[in-house]
Amino acid sequence: MKYYIINLGCKVNAYEAKVMSDLLTNAGFTKGSIDDADIYIVNTCFVTNVAEHKSFQMIRKAIKHKPKLVIVCGCLSQMKEKEVLAIDGVNIVLGNKDKSKIIEYINNYKDKVSKIYDLTNIEFEDMQLNNFDKTRAFVKIQDGCNNFCSYCIIPYTRGNVRSKKKEDVINEIKNLINYGHKEIVLTGIHTGNYHDLDYDFADLLNDIVKIPNLKRLRISSIEITEINDRVMDVIKNNDILVDHMHIPLQSGSNTILDLMNRKYDITYFINKINKLRNIRPLISITTDVIVGFPNETEELFNETIDNIKKIGFAKLHVFPYSVREGTKASLMDNQVPENIKKERARKLIDLSKELEINYINNFIGSYLEFIPETYKDGYLYGHTGNYLSIKVPGDKALLNKIVKVKIKKLDYPYCVSNICQDTVDIR
C-alpha cells in the first residue's frame, strides 16, 4: 500500500510527519505521490485562520482521490474533532498525541474512529529519527507551552510543557550525525523552556556542542526571556552554535506587548539583543511580528517600526493578527479592520526586505562556509550558518558538504558566490 503525507505548519509538525513516514516505510508501506496513494495523512495546523482554512482544503483534496484511508491529525483535529470527524471520507482522526502509533491505528482500522486526548497534563510522546530528508535535520526536544499569550491558541492545541529525556536527545543527534547530517536544528513549541528535571536548556546545549562531528547547531526559535547568562555563555564559547537566532518580538510597542501578555518590554528586549551582539557582533537575528493586534493604533504601529529599525533585525516574519476563538484577544474591543492589517503587513514586509539587504551587504567580499542543499541547472543552493541564501556554480557532488565561498554580489534573495576549491570539505 502506498501512503502520502500532507504536512502543514511548523517545524514540529515537519518532524512528526517525518517520524510517521519512517514508521510507515519500516512497516512495509511505500511512499506514493499525491495522485496515487492508498492512505493519505493530513498533518494539520490551526495557528491562524489561513492555516485552518488550508488544513480543511487539504483534507478535501485528499478525499477527492478516493483512497482507502484518510487520516487527519495535528492541531486542527485537536481543536475541532467533531467538525473533522463529520467530514465524509475521513476515516481516522487523531490530535497531537499518538502520531507515533500511526501503524497501530491503520492495522486495527475497522470503522471511522477518533482519539483526542486532554493535553493539559501528559508525558512527552517519545519519537526518534535516524535520518531526515533535508540537509538540516530537525530534532524535537520539547512540546507544549504554558505562556498563554493572549492571541495564541497553541497552549490549547499542544498542551502543557513537556520535554524529551536528555539521553534520548543526545542519542538521536548522534544517530543523525552518523547518517551524514552536519547541521542539527533543535525544535519544539517552546524550545528554550526545555527541561529534564533540574537539567535545563543551557545544560543540553553544553552537552550537544561536545558531540563529535557535529558541524552546526541551530535553535529553531527562542524567547528573549530564555536567553539567560548560562545560554549566553554557551553561545559565546562555542562556534558550533551558528550565527543566527530567531527571537520573536511580536510587537515593538509596550502597550501592545502588555495586551499580548508577553513577558518582557522593549527596553528588556533591546538590552538583551545588545548583550548578544557584544558576544556575536554580526549575528543574524530574525523575528516574528504580529500587525493589527486589537487596540494597535497608527501611533503604536509606528512605535513598532521605529523599534524594529533600532534593533536592526536581519529579517522579519510578518503575520496579520488572526482572531482565534477561545483566546483572550478574541474578546478584546477595538479589533483592527482587515484592510488596515494588510496595509501594515505590507509596510513591514517592505521594511524586512530593506533590513535583509542591509544585513547581507555586510558580507559582500567576505569568505563564508555554506552547505549546498539543492542543485539546479549547474548551480548549488544552500545556506550559511547565519542563514544567508547562497547561489554558486558548482558540482552536484558537493551536496551536503561544507564548502567555503567568497560572496561576490547580492542578487536578492541570493548571495552569488565563488567556490574556494582549496577549502572544500568533502567529508
- Structure confidence at residue 424 as a pLDDT band (50, 70, 90): low
Rounded Cα gap, residues 28 and 26, in angstroms: 5
Note whether 315 and 255 are same-domain residues.
Answer: yes
- Structure confidence at residue 22 as a pLDDT band (50, 70, 90): very high
Rounded Cα gap, residues 176 and 49, in angstroms: 35
Domain boundary, last residue among 115, 148, 177: 115
Other Cβ atoms less than 10 A from the Cβ of 395: the count is 13
CATH (domain of 140): 3.30.750.210
266 within domain boundaries: no
Note whether 48 and 158 are same-domain residues.
Answer: no
Q: Is there a contact between 23 and 150 (Cβ–Cβ < 8 Å)?
A: no
- Structure confidence at residue 303 as a pLDDT band (50, 70, 90): very high
Confidence at residue 150, expressed as pLDDT on a 0 to 100 scale: 98
Domain boundary, last residue among 313, 335, 363: 363
Note whether 103 and 143 are same-domain residues.
Answer: no
Helix H or strand E segment including 107: helix 102-107
Rounded Cα gap, residues 23 and 21, in angstroms: 5
Note whether 40 and 108 are same-domain residues.
Answer: yes
Q: What is the pTM of this model?
A: 0.95
Confidence at residue 133, expressed as pLDDT on a 0 to 100 scale: 79
Q: Which of 179, 153, 74, 164 shows the shortest CA–CA distance to 128?
A: 164
Domain boundary, last residue among 316, 331, 363: 363
CATH (domain of 339): 3.30.750.200
Note whether 191 and 303 are same-domain residues.
Answer: no
Q: 316 by DSSP, 3-state: which?
A: strand
Note whether 345 and 369 are same-domain residues.
Answer: no
Q: Which domain holds residue 356?
A: 245-261+272-363
Note whether 253 and 358 are same-domain residues.
Answer: yes
355 within domain boundaries: yes
Note whether 394 and 325 are same-domain residues.
Answer: no
153-206 tens-digit pLDDT: 999 999 999 999 999 999 999 999 999 999 999 999 999 999 999 999 999 999
**Mean pLDDT to the nearest integer, 80-96:** 98
Mean pLDDT in the chain?
96
- Structure confidence at residue 425 as a pLDDT band (50, 70, 90): low
Helix H or strand E segment including 268: helix 266-279
Note whether 368 and 358 are same-domain residues.
Answer: no
- Structure confidence at residue 38 as a pLDDT band (50, 70, 90): very high
Note whether 237 and 139 are same-domain residues.
Answer: yes
Note whether 237 and 286 are same-domain residues.
Answer: no
Confidence at residue 127, expressed as pLDDT on a 0 to 100 scale: 96
360-397 tens-digit pLDDT: 999 999 999 999 999 999 999 999 999 999 999 999 99
Per cent of the chain over pLDDT 70 is 99
45 within domain boundaries: yes
Note whether 228 and 249 are same-domain residues.
Answer: no
- C-alpha cell of residue 271: 538590552
41-79 tens-digit pLDDT: 999 999 999 999 999 999 999 999 999 999 999 999 999
The number of distinct structural domains making up the chain is 4
267 within domain boundaries: no
- Structure confidence at residue 427 as a pLDDT band (50, 70, 90): very low
Q: Which residue has the cell 557582533?
A: 281
Confidence at residue 134, expressed as pLDDT on a 0 to 100 scale: 79
Beta strands in 188-278 (DSSP E): 195-196, 199-200, 216-219, 244-246
**Does 422 have pLDDT greater than 80?**
no
412 within domain boundaries: yes
